[in-house]
Amino acid sequence: MSIEAGPAHDGRLGAPRTVLVAPDPLLRRVARRCPEVNSRVAALVADLLATMRSHPGCVGLAAPQIGALTRGVVVDVTADPRACDAHGIILLVNPEIILAAGSQAGREGCLSLPGLTASIRRAAKVVVAGLSVRG
């Protein structure tokens, strides 16, 4: 589900946050499911988007990477030359992989592991379900 980037429910634009770097112990903790999408969750997602945009080349970021143990992600592969499909900015709360098919390898990096890239095998196609910041 793709939604337009803009202000959170409370009207504030997101602010970039510091990205946690391994071996920060928060990166090993399990994120909690959001019982509801409210203005706090919308503000967190807005901060995730602002943080991702403040790092050129970043195509995705999860809430635990900015210190929030909440299940939330932002993804935008529009500018990635390796992307086969682009759906604009995707902001998801409580994301769940519904279907994963095929396999492909690609070089990836991670803001929480600066300076490290690796060849990672991932599903060639995924279907993900989740809530938008509008619920």
pLDDT for 77 equals: 81
84 found inside a domain = yes
CATH number, domain with residue 30: 3.90.45.10
Structural domain contains residue 43: yes
Domains in the chain: how many in total?
1
| Contact indicator for 53, 19 with CB cutoff of 8 Å | no
Residue 2: predicted pLDDT:
32
pLDDT average per 10 residues of sequence, the chain (135 residues) = 39 85 98 94 95 94 98 87 74 97 95 97 94 86
Give residue 80's pLDDT: 67
Residue 39 backbone dihedrals phi, psi, to 5 degrees: -65, -30
Which has the closest alpha carbon to 75: 17, 132, 12, 8? 132
Q: What 3 state SS string does 68-87 have?
A: CCECEEEECCCCCCCCCCCC
Short-list 132, 61, 56, CA closest to 91:
132
pLDDT of residue 135: 74
Give the pLDDT confidence score for residue 83 in this predicted structure: 62
What pLDDT is attached to residue 47? 96
